């Protein structure tokens, strides 16, 4: 049993992370639909951009959560084509603090990242 886990670990270490997470095969127990998720600038003052890449056409929902995990705002809910995506959002109505952006693809939460909102000058 230990040998089996050791071989699996060696296999994972021999592959790059992009190969592991972007691998597509009929034998895979899951299918990854995005590669990266970035927000900039972070901290956001008034306007921010969310950037990600979809591997295939997908239904996408992006929501903004407060520090307690309650949804503050839905930034988008739409069908998107494969490729690079940029979503711009307005943070003027948000109070200073820490929030989370949640990316949901085809009904599954795939990534949540931290977002800071700072004071306006």
Residues in CB range of 104: below 8 A, 6 or more apart: 60, 61, 62, 63, 110
List the domains of the chain with CATH numbers.
24-117 (2.60.40.2550)
66-120 confidence digits (pLDDT tens): 999 999 999 999 999 999 999 999 998 899 999 999 999 999 999 999 999 997 7
Output the CA–CA distances (angstroms, integers) from residue 51 to 26, 100, 108, in the order listed: 28, 15, 18
Q: Each residue of 32-51: pLDDT tens digit?
A: 566 678 999 999 999 999 99
pTM, to two decimals: 0.69
């Amino acid at each position: 049993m230990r040998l089996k886990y050791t071989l699996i670990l060696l296999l994972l270490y021999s592959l790059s992370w992009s190969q592991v997470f972007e691998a597509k095969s009929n034998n895979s127990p899951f299918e990854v639909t995005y590669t990266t998720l970035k927000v900039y600038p972070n901290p956001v003052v008034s306007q921010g951009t969310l950037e990600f890449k979809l591997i295939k056409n997908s239904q996408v929902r992006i929501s903004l959560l407060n520090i307690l995990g309650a949804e503050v705002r839905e930034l988008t809910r739409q069908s998107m084509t494969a490729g690079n995506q940029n979503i711009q959002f307005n943070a003027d109505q948000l109070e200073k603090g820490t929030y989370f952006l949640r990316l949901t693809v085809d009904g599954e939460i795939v990534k949540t990242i931290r977002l800071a909102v700072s004071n306006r000058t």
